A and B are shown apart, each in its own frame.
Chain A
Amino acid sequence: MIHTVPMMVVLPLAGAFFIPMISRRVVWAPDAVGNAVMAVLAVLSFGLIGREGVYHVGGWPTPLGIDLRLDGLTVILLLAVNGIGLCASLFSVSYMELYTSKFRYYSLFLFMVAGMNGVIVTGDLFNLYVFMEIAAIASYALVAFGCEHEELEASFKYAVLGGVSSALILIGIAVVYMVTGSLNMVQVAGRIQTTGLTPPILLALCLFVAGFGLKAALVPFHAWLPDAHPSAPAPVSAMLSGVLIKAIGVYVMARLFFNVFGATPDILIVLRLLGVLSMVIGVLLAVGQWDMKRLFAYHSISQIGYVMLGLGLGTPWGLAGGLFHLLNHSVFKSLLFLNAGSVEYSTGRRNLKRLGGLARIMPLTGGTTLVASMSIGGVPPFNGFWSKLIIIFACIRAGFYGLAGWAVFVSVITLASFLKVLRYGFYETPAEKFRVERSTAPLMAVALLLLAIGCLAMSLFVVTGLESPVLVDRAVHALSAGVFGM
């Protein structure tokens, strides 16, 4: 089964090159190939549940070749990326009719997925950088896909800040190689364990915090996100907010700090601080927004803060809560963005002041938005409630009562902000008349329903007890086992 791991990268790459080749002859090819690849990837990643191991690329042994590592943490990230990717690509079939040159879209989309899968499975620092850049460059292009004023401006801002963050990360990797003489994560971890955190390693750590913090849009580094995420086409926003900031931001931070550098109390303090800042500032900025997608984008910053807070506690409860929230957030946030896309598809607008009464006009989208809003607001039967509960309990058990208070406060504000979305967008009668141009296409409905079911089904993960939600359990072990030994 370990032999399917390289397929997670090879398949989307092959698809991305294949689509432009045949799309001039066969008009429906981009849709078919894109969705087929994503479906296969989703099935493969489900098949990887519970597996662990190391795959040596080219059959070369560990220090010489590149390793692909599969463990609990890898598996849940792969599930999130490819599951959400499948829903987004289903949604794109009808939605991307609004834009031209669909084959370019699918090609870039698959590049982005290949990059993210690569980042997740790789066990080599420089290889990680390369895959990260593949995902990032594809996402810059996808943000600019509409080629209008706002899209281009947002994409330029995103690309420049992304370029700076990549540069910082590359310096960090260079410093790590200079000090340890290796790029393999396991070997680096082993050498750092023997030498301890020397000043050069600390420099690399700071560079990684800044670089990956920029990629993950944690608060001092968040400026690009509220522009870039709403400007992209809806399925791409769903991918960017749902999984990209986690795969190339939060995941890499967790992997490096827990498994490679070792989570010392100082590092944990930094993670908690970044988490709380993003949580509080993100939600406060979100409250005043009237553009639906922009509002959702600010909430992404805030929810990523929850994940970082959970990880920063460093206790098994905190890790479980953080990773569970990461999975949940990828489901409900991509659902929210797809809903916004569905509204925009039907009415051509997304400003809440100019919408209203959508729950009657578009019952399905209204229902799924209700589900997603309740999930992100932390209302009991839905998945968001459980992960927030675990994080708050974890704060209390670790003795951080203040942090628990902030988490509750942010949760309340989040709920209030989504009640605003529901009220102005979906239930109150509109202030001005607008026309519904198209109804939601069947495949879009399928994608929305799949994700809405996901929101409910994932709350079943806690049946085994709050301490070890199913699936997340192994990932927690992977992180809390500490640094990789040699």
Chain B
Amino acid sequence: MIYALCLVLVGIGLYGVVAKKNVLKIVIGLMIMEYGIHLLLILIGYRRNGAFAIMQPGQDPGAYASAAVDPLPQALVLTSIVISLGVLALLVALCLRLYEKYGTFDITEMRRLRG
């Protein structure tokens, strides 16, 4: 069920990127898309009523493996969040510079490049 939410988030994000005219809204759309993917990554490692992914002293490795959630996607998500933060910072900086130059956030008015 929650997988559908990922799809919805990615879809909303993609819609924002494609249909919106305000550059900041495009950036927001891109970020919503990223959040959808992060949610998907977390869900891959999720297990209902799963134990945390640290093996207790004296715990049987087999029992641990069958109970714990998968820790790898969590590591992936952390990395991915940092990367998308970097992209976000760069994009917002670009938007500000664009505003300085064009005096607008409207992408349809930024049309110096053609062909």
Contact = CB atoms under 8 A, between A and B. Distances in A.
B97 A178 contact: no
Interface in B76-115: 76, 79-80, 83, 86-87, 90-91, 94-95, 97-98, 101-102, 107, 110, 112-113, 115
Contacts of A171: 10, 37, 40
Interface in A152-190: 152-157, 159-160, 163-164, 166-167, 170-171, 174, 177-178, 183
Contacts of B33: 163-164, 167
A174 B91 contact: no
26 contacts: A130-B83, A133-B87, A147-B97, A148-B101, A149-B101, A149-B102, A150-B112, A152-B94, A153-B98, A153-B110, A153-B112, A156-B94, A157-B113, A159-B87, A159-B94, A160-B26, A160-B27, A163-B34, A164-B14, A167-B13, A167-B33, A167-B34, A167-B37, A174-B73, A177-B76, A226-B115
A149 B112 contact: yes
A126 interface: yes
Interface in A386-401: none
A155 B94 contact: yes
A455 interface: no
Interface of B: 10, 13-14, 17, 23, 26-27, 30, 33-34, 37, 40-41, 44, 72-73, 76, 79-80, 83, 86-87, 90-91, 94-95, 97-98, 101-102, 107, 110, 112-113, 115
A207 B98 CA distance: 31
Given A133-B83, A150-B113, A177-B73, A144 B41 contact: no
Contact of A170 (B80, B91, B101): B80
Contacts, number: 92
Given A137-B87, A152-B98, A153-B98, A164 B30 contact: yes
A152 B83 contact: no
Contacts of A166: 87
Interface string A118-160: 0000000010011001000100110010011110111111011
A412 to B, nearest CB: 22
A155 B110 CA distance: 12
A137 to B, nearest CB: 6
Contacts of A174: 37, 40-41, 44, 73
A227 interface: yes
Given A153-B113, A183-B72, 16 more contacts: A130-B83, A140-B90, A144-B94, A152-B98, A153-B110, A159-B87, A159-B91, A166-B87, A167-B10, A167-B13, A167-B33, A174-B37, A174-B40, A174-B41, A226-B115, A227-B113
Complex A-B, nearest 9 residue pairs according to Cβ-Cβ distance, in ascending order: A227-B113, A163-B30, A178-B44, A133-B83, A153-B110, A167-B33, A156-B94, A152-B98, A149-B101
Interface of A: 126, 129-130, 133, 137, 140-141, 144, 147-150, 152-157, 159-160, 163-164, 166-167, 170-171, 174, 177-178, 183, 226-227, 231, 285, 288-289, 294
Contact of B30 (A144, A155, A167, A231): A167
A144 B97 contact: yes
Contacts of A137: 83, 86-87, 90
Contact of A289 (B14, B44, B115): B115
Contact of A163 (B79, B91, B115): B91
Nearest to A133: B83
A126 B26 contact: no
A160 B44 contact: no
B115 to A, nearest CB: 7
A161 to B, nearest CB: 9
B44 to A, nearest CB: 5
A227 B110 CA distance: 13
Contacts of A285: 115
A472 B83 CA distance: 34
Contacts of A167: 10, 13, 30, 33-34, 37
A352 to B, nearest CB: 14
B23 A156 contact: yes
Contacts of A126: 76, 79
Nearest to A144: B94
B65 to A, nearest CB: 12
A159 B107 CA distance: 14
Contacts of A226: 115
A398 B113 CA distance: 41
B112 A170 contact: no
A44 B80 CA distance: 31
Contacts of B112: 149-150, 153
A177 B44 contact: yes
A151 to B, nearest CB: 9
Contacts of B79: 126, 130
Given A140-B90, A163-B87, A156 B30 contact: no
Contacts of B41: 170, 174
